[in-house]
């Protein structure tokens, strides 16, 4: 593509390309910065896309690129698949989508390293440091690739959401990890060793599967965030391989983003990253402690009319949504209820726990889809002091995030997890199908409190009944 | 300074920039941030372009082609779905009242 340029321009072309990469880097950083506020986020994302476009276009002028058929074919196929998936995906399925895109990104980075290894043809000519980066790039990229596909399968339900474990798994995985690092060393020592190369590739793919399989479905927000970080690292490593600063910087930015989100998710569940990755939390075995609890305690059931009346006479209502709301596809009906209440002069807010959805911030997206304005959505820290002055709290499809045992019982598996202080409110109403325990498999004493009422049934049906009742009041 | 060390400097400094930029993002935007960042990690497409476009090694070209497909799915899908989400984020306006 650079042939038509005058020789004087061709001579400085590599420098021009690098300068444009620098520009693209700046555009990425500006884009991510703008992603930090709801008002500017959309333009931030578009800016980042522009940065990517600039980077791709200028790369096409690279003098090493001679043939364009495969490039065009690849871009057309990839764009078609990506665009189709992006248009079709349901907002509830966002975590799966991010997981699978992640996997493709990681896979691409591993392929770039592999392609570079093959392209050089005589790897013995490579310096040791290049072989180290190729090995690491393949390692991280492959783990991201298979790990993301397992996470996708778990979220979709193709693979059991329960932790899948076998005895000695953690030790086995640790040995494999050390083994691949030794293999990277071997490859550096003997670059002509195809065996070392293929073992790194194979074991890394296996490691991705083995490290995600033992993690429970409830912990997927952490896993997706972490895999997101890995995909950034993989891109960065690929940048080391091909000596490209744009890749190194962009990859590092993504790696940092993923790490921060991983940390936020871990804090929200009061678990360490180590415990999430190796603890195999959230199995079926804990359900046996469930039924024992509800024999001696009673719950107060309520009806749609009663809920409607209580809400109308309230000054302030806070809605605490959980993933159950999204499963029941009840966001839109919920918004209707909230609108009706606001028309009657009731102040309505939404309180959102960081792990309310299946990935960080998922619930906010689901409510945004139902046209709930974002300035009505409050984080846990913002809303918690508010519950004291609230008349009615509607808890819909959420359980563990409002379980007071997190504060009161040191023996509880969720002890120490920050929760929504809904029991500070005058009245709480829990919308639930049954008294069954949530993800963590533990009973919730909130249900038996005197200030609490239960509204049993499917969230969507229940909310529809309340809209009806509100019309009649 | 060798290439690897120089690249490490860039990597570490960029990581700090990333932490600074992202630690202030409010929880409301965490999902779009993640999917947007995810799209950016598809930057690896730039490496794929060079490998698919050279003509010295046919097998490497094929690997490069696969890498382009994977990375483009990541980039195009990631940016589009992020845009779709962010389009829905609205402030409360007068029409709502």
List of chain A residues whose C-beta atoms are within 8 Å of the C-beta of residue B48 = 74, 108, 111-112, 115
CB pairs under 8 A between A and B: 397
Residues of B in contact with A129 (CB under 8 A): 2-4
* Three-state DSSP state, B1: coil
Which comes out higher in pLDDT, residue A292 or A109? A109
By CB atoms closer than 10 A (0-12, 13-18, 19+), residue A131 is buried
Look up tokens 């107060």; give the residue: A300
pLDDT (mean) for B39-59: 93
- Domain ranges within chain A, ordered by starting residue: 1-88, 94-282, 296-472
Q: What is the pTM of this model?
A: 0.88
pLDDT tens readout for residues A153-212 = 988 888 877 787 788 888 888 899 999 999 998 988 888 888 989 999 999 999 999 999
Nearest to A226 by CA among A359, A110, A361, A92: A359
pLDDT digits (tens, 9 = 90+) for B2-39: 788 999 999 999 999 999 998 888 888 999 999 999 99
Q: How many domains does chain B have?
A: 1
User: Would residue B36 count as lying in a domain?
Assistant: yes
| Cα gap B89→A345, rounded to integer Å | 24
pLDDT bucket at A128, cuts 50 / 70 / 90: confident
The reported pLDDT for the residue numbered A3 is 72
Confidence of residue A289 (pLDDT cuts 50, 70, 90): very low
pLDDT of residue A53: 96
Alpha-carbon span A440 to A411, nearest angstrom: 13
pLDDT of residue B37: 93
Neighbours of A305 (CB within 10 A): 15
Q: Judge: B39–A101 Cβ closer than 8 Å, yes or no.
A: yes
Report whether pLDDT(B69) > 80: yes
For residue B38, tell me if it sits in a domain.
yes
- For residue B35, the chain A residue with the least C-alpha distance is A98
What pLDDT band is residue A440 in, cutting at 50, 70 and 90? low
Superfamily of domain A296-472: TPP-binding domain (3.40.50.1220)
Q: Is the pLDDT of residue A281 over 70?
A: no
| CA A347 – CA A157 distance, rounded (Å) | 39
C-beta atoms of A105 and B11 within 8 A = no
A30 in contact with chain B, both atoms CB, cutoff 8 A: no
pLDDT of residue A296: 56
Complex ipTM tops 0.90: yes
HEC readout, chain A: CCCCCCHHHHHHHHHHHHHHHHHHHHHHHHHHHHCCCCCCHHHHHHHHHHHHHHHHHHHCCCCCCCCCHHHHHHHHHHHHHHHHHHHHCCHHHHHHHHHHHHHHHHHHHHHHHHHHHHHHCCHHHCCHHHHHHHHHHHHHHHHHHHHHHHHHHHHHCCCCCCCCCCCCHHHHHHHHHHHHHHHHHHHHHCCCCHHHHHHHHHHHHHHHHHHHCCCCHHHHHHHHHHHHHHHHHHHHHHHHHHCCHHHHHHHHHHHHHHHHHHHHHHHHCCCCHHHHHHCCCCCHHHHHHHHHHCCCCCCCECCHHHHHHHHHCCCEEEEEECHHHHHCCCHHHHHHHHHHHHHCCCEEEEEECCCCCCCCCHHHHHHHHCCCCHHHEEEHHHHHHHHHHCCEEEEECCCHHHCCHHHHCCCCCCCCCCCCCHHHCCEEEEEECCCCCCCCCCCCHHHHCCCEEEEECCHHHHHHHHHHHHHHC
Average pLDDT on A21-42 reads 94
| pLDDT top residue among A127 and B68 | B68
Provide mean pLDDT across the span A32-47.
Answer: 93
Distances, alpha carbon A368 to alpha carbons A32, A84, A147, A458, in Å: 21, 22, 29, 22
Residue A286 has pLDDT above 60, yes or no: no
B70: chain A residues, CB-CB within 8 Å: 78, 104-105, 107-108, 111
User: How far is B10 from A252, CA to CA, in rounded Å?
Assistant: 9
The closest alpha carbon to A150, from A80, A53, A226, A74, belongs to: A226
Question: Which domain does B35 fall in, by range?
Answer: 27-89
Judge whether B7 lies within some domain.
no
Place A292 in a pLDDT band, splitting at 50, 70 and 90. Answer: very low
Count of alpha carbons within 13 Å of A101, Cβ hemisphere only? Answer: 39
pLDDT over 60 (residue A288): no
What's the CA gap between A169 and A209, in Å, rounded? Answer: 12
pLDDT, position A85:
95
Dist. CA B86–CA B32, nearest whole Å = 7
Average pLDDT, chain A: 88
Average pLDDT over residues B49-71: 93
Could you report the per-residue pLDDT of A228-280, keeping only the tens digit for each? 999 999 999 999 999 999 999 999 999 999 999 998 888 888 888 888 888 76
Residue A283 has pLDDT above 70, yes or no: no
User: Would you state the pLDDT for residue A285?
Assistant: 39
Distance from CA of A421 to the nearest CA of B (A): 18
Q: B66: which chain A residues are within 8 Å (Cβ-Cβ)?
A: 74, 111
Task: Tell me what pLDDT residue B97 has.
Answer: 39
What is the DSSP code string of B49-68?
HHHHH--S-HHHHHHHHHHH
Residue A441 binned pLDDT confidence (cut-offs 50, 70, 90) = low
Higher pLDDT, B40 or A131: B40
B-chain residues near A368 (CB < 8 A): 85, 88-90
Look over chain B and give the mean of its residue pLDDT values, rounded to a whole number: 90
Q: Does B84 fall in a domain?
A: yes
Mean pLDDT of A219-224: 86
Q: Other C-beta atoms within 10 Å of A53: how many?
A: 14
Average pLDDT over residues A7-31: 92
Say how far apart CA A62 and CA A67 lie, in whole Å.
11
**Higher local confidence (pLDDT), A30 or A293:** A30
Enumerate residues 1 to 20 of chain B having a beta carbon within 8 A of any beta carbon in chain A. 2-4, 7, 10-12, 14-19
Copy the structure tokens of residue B61. Answer: 């070209």
Question: Which residues are registered as beta bridge partners of A456?
Answer: A432
Sheet holding A392-396, edge to edge: A377-379, A347-352, A316-321, A392-396, A427-432, A452-456
**Residue of A130, A219, A400, A443 with catalytic role:** A400
**From B38, B44, B89, residue closest to A228, measured CB to CB:** B38
pLDDT digits (tens, 9 = 90+) for A396-427: 988 888 988 888 888 777 888 889 999 899 99
Catalytic site residue A130?
no
A234-238, A242-246, A282-286, A460-464: the lowest-pLDDT one: A282-286
Residue B18 resides in a domain: no
Checking if the pLDDT of A380 tops 60, the result is: yes
């Amino acid at each position: 593509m650079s042939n038509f340029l005058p020789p004087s321009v061709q001579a400085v072309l590599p420098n021009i390309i690098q300068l444009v990469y620098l520009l693209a880097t700046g555009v990425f950083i500006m884009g991510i910065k703008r992603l930090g506020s709801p008002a500017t986020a959309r333009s931030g994302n578009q800016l980042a896309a522009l940065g990517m476009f600039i980077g791709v276009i200028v790369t096409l002028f690279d003098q090493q690129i001679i043939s364009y058929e495969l490039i065009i074919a690849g871009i057309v196929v990839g764009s078609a698949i990506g665009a189709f998936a992006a248009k079709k995906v349901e907002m509830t399925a966002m975590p799966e989508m991010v997981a699978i895109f992640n996997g493709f990104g990681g896979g691409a980075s591993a392929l770039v390293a592999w392609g570079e290894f093959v392209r050089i043809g005589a790897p013995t000519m490579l310096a040791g440091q290049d072989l180290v980066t190729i090995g690491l790039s393949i390692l991280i990229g492959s783990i991201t690739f298979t790990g993301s596909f397992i996470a996708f399968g778990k979220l979709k339900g193709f693979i059991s959401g329960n932790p899948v474990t076998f005895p000695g798994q953690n030790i086995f995985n640790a040995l494999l990890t050390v083994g691949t690092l030794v293999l990277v060393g071997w490859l550096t020592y003997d670059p002509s060793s195809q065996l070392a190369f293929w073992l790194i590739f194979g074991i890394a793919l296996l490691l991705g599967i083995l490290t995600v399989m033992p993690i429970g479905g409830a912990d997927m927000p952490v896993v997706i965030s972490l895999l997101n970080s890995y995909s950034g690292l993989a891109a960065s490593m690929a940048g080391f391989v091909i000596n490209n600063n744009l890749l190194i910087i962009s990859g590092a930015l993504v790696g940092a983003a993923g790490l921060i989100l991983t940390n936020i998710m871990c804090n929200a569940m009061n678990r360490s990253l180590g415990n999430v990755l190796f603890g195999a939390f959230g199995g079926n075995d804990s359900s046996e402690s469930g039924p024992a609890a509800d024999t001696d305690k009673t719950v107060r059931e309520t009806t749609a009319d009663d809920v409607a009346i209580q809400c109308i006479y309230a000054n302030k209502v806070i809605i605490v949504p959980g993933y159950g709301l999204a499963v029941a596809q009840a966001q839109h009906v919920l918004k209707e209820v909230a609108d009706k209440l606001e028309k009657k002069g009731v102040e309505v807010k939404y309180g959102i726990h960081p792990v309310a959805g299946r990935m960080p911030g998922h619930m906010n997206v689901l409510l945004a889809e139902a046209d709930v304005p974002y300035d009505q959505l409050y984080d846990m820290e913002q809303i918690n002091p508010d519950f004291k002055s609230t008349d009615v709290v509607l808890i819909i499809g959420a359980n563990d995030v409002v379980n007071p045992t997190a504060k009161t019982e040191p023996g509880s598996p969720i002890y120490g997890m920050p929760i929504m202080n809904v029991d500070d409110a005058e009245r709480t109403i829990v919308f639930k199908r049954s008294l069954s325990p949530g993800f963590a498999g533990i009973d919730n004493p909130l249900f038996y409190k005197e200030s609490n009422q239960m509204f049993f049934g499917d969230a969507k049906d229940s909310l529809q009944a309340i809209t009806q009742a509100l019309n009649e009041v | 300074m060798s290439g690897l060390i120089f690249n490490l400097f860039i990597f570490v400094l960029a990581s700090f920039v990333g932490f600074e930029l992202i630690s202030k993002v409010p929880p409301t935007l965490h999902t779009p941030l993640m999917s947007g960042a995810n799209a950016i990690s598809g930057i690896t497409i730039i490496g794929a372009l060079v490998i698919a476009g050279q003509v010295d090694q046919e097998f490497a070209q094929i690997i490069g082609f696969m890498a382009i497909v994977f990375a483009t799915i990541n980039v195009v899908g990631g940016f589009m779905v992020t845009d779709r989400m962010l389009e829905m984020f609205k402030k409360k306006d007068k029409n709502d009242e």
